[in-house]
Amino acid sequence: MNKKVTSASSKVKNEIDEDLEIKKVAHSKSYIQTLLLIILIILFALTLFCACFYIGKYYEAKNKVKGDTELIEINKENNKSFITNNGPFEKVIDDTLEEDAIVESFANVEVSTDANSKNDGVLVYDVKYEIIQNDFAFNPISTISSNILVRFSYSFDNKEWISTGYVLTAPDLTLSPLMSNYYDIGGIVGTINVATNYELSSKPGETKKMYWKSETLIRNNSDTVGKSFKANLKIEYKESA
């Protein structure tokens, strides 16, 4: 009888141990599943965040190009050209400025020629500075002390800039360079011809890029506070070969 009782007791104990082992395995599996679920949630959140971030950047860039930047693409048989104009800018002087204001505007042009082309790629273009609004008075005698001046420069690497220093044409007058190649533009409204029939070429297999910049200097004094100036530096396509 004692042996039978011992045997039954041992059987019950084994069953309890098996149940505990099964529960441990189930608990372990449940823990792993919970951990995997947490990892998946974190990965999903990161993926969603990255997707929203890059989608936002895409639409921001798209809207910027649509609203401010003009992109012109010219395709020929053996070459391709791009013109980028950043659009007009506007500046109003207020009494919070401690120094004179300098507003920079950029435009660039690029020519790429296929390696198998027999000829160089050539783009002919004009550079213009359109003054849309100008509240600053005209000066009969141009001077470097004018309340508003502009300087034009070009570069082939976007680092070293060469300022133009030749006579420019504007509506009904010509503009001569002053000190540091600035031009007095007080009272002028209309188009200043910065460069006319300018050629940019690239050899077969070469890409050539040229940058243009305007620096508009507006004095900050009692005579300029509240006055507005709006202009647009842009490159106009003429022809290509």
- What are 35's two structure tokens? 């951990």
Query: Which pLDDT does position 14 carry in this prediction?
Result: 54
3-class state of residue 191 by DSSP: strand
3-class state of residue 117 by DSSP: coil
* pTM check: above 0.85: no
Per-residue pLDDT of the chain (241 residues; tens, 9 = 90+): 444 444 555 555 555 555 556 555 555 666 677 777 788 888 888 887 777 665 654 444 444 444 578 899 998 888 899 999 999 999 888 877 778 899 999 999 999 999 998 889 999 999 999 999 999 999 889 999 999 999 999 999 999 999 998 999 998 899 999 999 999 999 999 999 999 999 999 999 999 999 999 999 999 888 888 899 999 999 999 886 5
| Beta-carbon contacts of residue 88 (< 8 Å; ≥ 6 apart) | 130, 132, 230, 231, 232
